[in-house]
Amino acid sequence: MAVSAEHIRTLHKYEKTILSVLERQMSRYSWVPLEQLITSTGFAESEVNYRLARLIEWGMVRFNPVPYDGYALVFGGYDTLALASLTRKGTISALGVQLGEGKESVVYEALGLGPVAIKFHRIGGRSFNSARVNREYMAEGHCPWLVASKLSAEREYKALVALHPKVSVPLPIAQNRHTVVMSLIQGANLNRCILEAPAVVLDEILENVRIAYKEGMIHSDLSEYNILMEEGKCVLIDWPQWIDAAHPNAEVTLNRDLDNILTYFKRKYQLRYDLEDAIQCVTG
């Protein structure tokens, strides 16, 4: 992750103000002009420049000199704003170790009332972060990575709220900007486990998929990587791409989810379970 907990702790209130102004102005500008930052913050130009230099060094803000001197928020800065809000509300008090990193997110352990997990959604991160792509995509004053990452987090949170506790998913705790705070699952991903009773676990997974389907939701990215095993019990994670059970692609998507799981259990445990039977069990 770009942002370090140390920098967030030592962030000056003026730096926080600048990040907030940038966040707001990103819907108007591709690159927020220095003059705009001075006007919006009410700080002296030298103060703004000094604070910006620090934010750039910490990977929270980016500078672009063409066609005018402008500044943009990047993921590190957005992370910082989200963490500052969650801290202010008392949702979390400290950031811990990294738990995982995928194509479109990074997950950290954090301290809330107890241990929690915080997932930072990162949609369109690397490509959108290049100055060239930013200029192209943000020419109209849009900020696609920021909007897409926030939507992704909101979508995942919505699924967890709808499904918990009927389906075995992490308990949703809070959602802010592009982040979701949820209960920390103590256990390994299914792909890293050697199960003693694989048939029992497979039945349990299908039962959870069935209940989610009954609640109108299909995971859409179900695999051995998105199932955690906590004390012998499966927990289905990673929900931002869920689709409605009434969606035109529902059947194809559900079949693919089920096929992923059945193929995995067949390959690793020589367990045979007919796809048609699984579909029947989930939708019947």
DSSP state of 93: S
Residue 234: φ, ψ to 5°: -85, 145
Query: Per CB under 6 A, does 102 bind ligand ATP?
Result: yes
150 binds, among ligand ATP, Mg ion, none (CB under 5 to 8 A by kind): none
Using the rule CB under 5 A, give the single segment among 49-57, 120-128, 206-214, 233-241 that binds Mg ion: 233-241
Of 237 and 254, CB closest to ligand ATP:
237
Please confirm, yes or no, whether 277 is among the known catalytic residues: no
Using the rule CB under 6 A, give the single segment among 53-61, 77-85, 129-137, 220-228 that binds ligand ATP: 220-228
Q: Shortest gap between Cβ of 192 and ligand ATP (angstroms)?
A: 9
Query: Per CB under 6 A, does 141 bind ligand ATP?
Result: no
Dist. CA 276–CA 259, nearest whole Å: 10
Give DSSP secondary structure letters for 153-217.
Answer: HHHHHHHHHHHTTTSS-PPEEEEETTEEEEEPP-SEEGGG---SSHHHHHHHHHHHHHHHHHTTE
Q: Shortest gap between Cβ of 67 and ligand ATP (angstroms)?
A: 35
Query: Per CB under 5 A, does 257 bind Mg ion?
Result: no
User: What are the tokens at 44?
Assistant: 């002296």
Kindly give, in sequence order, each residue whose CB lies less than 8 Å from that of residue 186, ignoring residues fewer than 6 positions away. 230, 231
Of 79 and 221, CB closest to Mg ion:
221
Q: Using DSSP, how many helices (H) and how many strands (E) does the chain show? A: 11, 13
Site size toward Mg ion (CB under 5 A) is: 3
Q: Which of residues 234-253 bind Mg ion (CB under 5 A)?
A: 238
Binding mask 176-205 for ligand ATP (x = CB under 6 A): ------x-xx---x----------------
Q: Per residue in 138-175, is it b (16+ CB within 10 Å) or e — as a string?
A: beeeebebbebbbebbbebbbbbebbeeebbbbebbbb
Angle between helical axes of 144-163 and 75-88 (0-180°, round to 10): 40
Of 59 and 170, CB closest to ligand ATP:
170
Alpha carbon 14 to its chain centroid, in Å, reads: 27
Q: Which residues bind Mg ion (CB under 5 A)?
A: 102, 226, 238
Residues at the site binding ligand ATP, with contacts judged by CB under 6 A = 99-100, 102-105, 107, 117, 119, 170, 182, 184-185, 189, 221, 225-226, 237-238
